[in-house]
Amino acid sequence: VNINQQWPVPYRRFDHRPVADSYCEAMFPFCPTGNMDGMIPYMNNWDVISVFRLQAPVWEFKYGSLLGKMHIMHDAIGFSSAERGKNYTMEWYELFQLGNCTFPHLRTETSAPFWCNQGAACFFEGIDDIHWSQNGTLEKIGEISGGQFNDMAKWVQQDNQTGIYYETWTVRSDPSPNSTLWFDSYDCSQFVHRTYRYLTQQGALLSSRSQTRFFG
Ligand SMILES: CCCCCCCCCCCCCCCC(=O)OC[C@@H](O)COP(=O)(O)OC[C@@H](O)CO
């Protein structure tokens, strides 16, 4: 073992997002109601934007609260502009669904393993109150200015261009509580944590009654 090895292995970022291989097929269109080129609306600097913590069981549309009972949750962030009177949802998830990010493909014509594991941010107008509150969480955690929102929007675009691969698995050295984290996951909840961290670094005061749990 390399004694200088840094654990966990840092998440690898890239300088651009490649076009996904046509072999990769999505069961559902990615970010169907979002702006096609991922643009995020510009707010007036003096606007007051409420920030919401959103959480719902993964695949609730298909299995209801089932995965929530195993604490397998999808995390997102909601925004509400006082000046525009509009709500928005921002989330990060797989382009080709969870299975493709969890298991690779074996293809005769390409070297194994072949992955269809891109993930990306999705920003769209509206917050589906029922979806988030019926089996999960819809909680106001703070307010930011329009200027702070605009800075965050720029940061999300950069984050989205460089952090392109979804990682389902968290890999540890052994099952014990004090095991070494070898590889961290990179999923919806990590995006939410990164965004909270960015906003608090910009001076936002965010507080939640409960923690945004990592899966596992
Ligand atoms: C054949 C599939 C096998 C998959 C087995 C996976 C076992 C490990 C489960 C780990 C789950 C981690 C999920 C972490 C949260 C996350 O990244 O969620 C993103 C996405 O999976 C959520 O999907 P949806 O619930 O469909 O929500 C997306 C919608 O909100 C889009 O608007």
d(CA 73, CA 61): 13
**HSE toward the beta carbon, residue 51, CA cutoff 13 A:** 21
pLDDT confidence bin for 129, thresholds 50/70/90: very high
- Ligand 1 pocket, mutate which of 33, 54, 58, 137 (most atoms under 8 A from CB): 58
d(CA 199, CA 189): 15
ipTM of the complex: 0.88
pTM reported for the whole predicted model: 0.93
The answer, yes or no, to whether any atom of ligand 1 lies below 6 A from the CB of 81, is no
What distance in angstroms lies between residue 5's CA and the mean position of ligand 1's atoms?
31
Averaged pLDDT, 158-187: 97
